[in-house]
Amino acid sequence: MEGGLRVKTLTVGFLAANCYLAYCEDTREAIVLDPGGDGDKILKTIDELDLKVKFIVDSHAHYDHIAANGELKEALNVPILIHKADAEALVNPELNFSSFLAYPYTSPRADRLLEDGDQIVFGRVKLKVLHTPGHTPGSICLLGEGEIFTGDTLFAGGVGRTDLPGGSFQKLVYSLKHRLMALPDWLKVYPGHGPQTVLGYEKRVNPYLRHL
Ligand SMILES: [Zn+2]
Ligand SMILES: [Zn+2]
């Protein structure tokens, strides 16, 4: 185990996104992955768990994953990280889907742009960035030693929609086939919405993975 990665799941916003507080058990250094709303609830939990947040990370730039970026950045004064292909959507309400939801939202700009293979380090934990485009051009998964955070690329029993701006079903299938299918079965999956699952189980029963 990589210095004891612990995960606290919070369901946030009216689209019920999973916001993950991923932290190093030893040092309490943490990331906030996908603060998609309910900033007060996220901040309160950070406080309760006595976490030292190093980064805000967005799995992609849809509104339901970034809506509390501004509130958290102001409170915590830490960098926002996102894949470079979704960076512009942070500050474009058409691209980040908020216009369609009638809550036009502009996030602060990213402080660090991620690329495939980058590492996000907090305490003794290292998470590797996998670029998995399809749901959006800059969708990423974060891979640890025993777990993967999949954003809206992969859910228990499903995958993210590809009919929004920048989405591509073809690219999503490529990402699933060449990136996720290649990973070990025993990885615990923390998706952007809905319950946790296990990668090997999804490979067998998920209709989008089963035939790949
Ligand atoms: Zn999304
Ligand atoms: Zn979502």
For residue 50, the model assigns a pLDDT of 98
Query: Which pLDDT score is estimated for 32?
Result: 98
Quick one: 34 exposed, middle or buried, by C-beta within 10 A (0-12, 13-18, 19+)?
Answer: buried
Ligand 1 centroid distance, CA of 26 (Å):
32
Residues in contact with 47: Cβ distance below 8 Å, sequence separation at least 6, in sequence order: none
Which pLDDT belongs to residue 200?
98
Q: What is the pLDDT of residue 70?
A: 98
Per the CB < 8 A criterion, the answer to whether 77 and 112 are in contact is no
Q: What is the pLDDT of residue 3?
A: 62
What are the CA-CA distances from residue 168 to residues 4, 93, 100, 116, 160 (Å)? 36, 19, 19, 18, 10
For the chain, the residue count is 212
Tell me how far the alpha carbon of residue 66 lies from the centroid of ligand 1, in angstroms.
Answer: 10
- The ligand with the least distance to the CA atom of 14 is 2
Average pLDDT for consecutive 10-residue bins of the chain (212 residues)? 84 96 97 98 98 98 98 98 98 94 94 98 98 98 98 98 95 98 98 98 97 89
Ligand 2 centroid–CA 160 distance in Å is: 8
**Helix (H) / strand (E) containing 45:** helix 39-48
Identify the pLDDT of residue 102: 85
How far is ligand 2, taken at its centre, from the CA of residue 4, in Å? 27
Residues with CB under 5 A from ligand 2 (ion): 64, 152, 192
